[in-house]
Amino acid sequence: QVTGSQISALDVATGQLETISAKGGAIVAPDDVAFDPRGNLYVTDSILSGNISGSHGGAISVTGSTGAARIERSTLSGNTSTNGGAVSIQSDRIAWLSQSTVVANSASAAGGAIRVDAAGARFVLDYSTIAGNAAPQTSGVHVVSGELLLHGTVVGEGTGGADCGQSGGNLT
C-alpha cells in the first residue's frame, strides 16, 4: 500500500539508502520502484492513496520512451495533481488499468482521474470503475492526444467538468 509514504531503495553493493519517492509523492516512471529492467510498471492488488503531485499524475505519472504500465485489481483514491489526479500518461507507451477502482481523486486543471497526453499513447481501461473524481475540465478521463479505450468500464458521478472528454486524440 502506498499512502503518501516515502519509498526508499538500498544499494546492496554500497549500503547507500536513496529516497526514490519523497513522502507524499507519487510513483513516477521510469525511475521509481515497481519497474522491471525493461521499464515496465506492474501495480497489482495495491492501494495508492493520498499522494500529491504539483504537475501530472497524483499517484502514477508515466513518462519516458520505453516500457508499458499495467495496473490490476488496485484502488487509486484521494490523489491530487494539476492534470490527471490519479494517473497521467505523457509518453508513447501502452498502459492498462484492469479490474480497478479510481475514486475521489482531483486535478486543478483537467482529468480528475486520468489524463492521456502523448500522440503514441494507448491506455486501456478494462472492467474498472472511475467515479467521484473532480476537475474543472473533465472530472473523469481526459484525452489530449493518444488513445483511451474503455471496455466494460463505468465512468461517472464526477464533479466539475464532464465525466469523459477530449481535446484531441481518440476516446472509444
Per residue in 6-39, pLDDT (tens digit) is: 544 545 556 555 555 554 455 554 443 456 777 7
Percent of the chain with pLDDT over 70: 79
Question: Residue 3 — very low, low, confident or very high, per pLDDT cuts 50/70/90?
Answer: very low
Residue 72 has pLDDT above 60, yes or no: yes
Task: Identify the CA nearest to 102 among candidates 158, 26, 151.
Answer: 158
| Lowest model confidence (mean pLDDT) among 44-48, 62-66, 126-130, 146-150 | 62-66
Which residues on neighbouring strands pair with residue 77, listed in sequence order?
49, 103
Task: Identify the CA nearest to 143 among candidates 113, 165, 172, 158.
Answer: 165
Distance of CA 42 to the CA centre of its chain: 12
Task: Identify the CA nearest to 133 among candidates 110, 116, 167, 100.
Answer: 110
What is the reported pLDDT for 31?
A: 40
Question: Residue 41 — very low, low, confident or very high, per pLDDT cuts 50/70/90?
Answer: confident
What global pTM score does this model have? 0.81
The overall average pLDDT reported for the chain is: 83
Residue 100 has pLDDT above 90, yes or no: yes
Report, as an integer, the average pLDDT of 133-148: 96
Instruction: Give buried/exposed letters for 25-59 (b at 16+ CB in 10 A, else e).
Output: bbbbbbebebbeeebbbebeebbbbbbebeebbbb
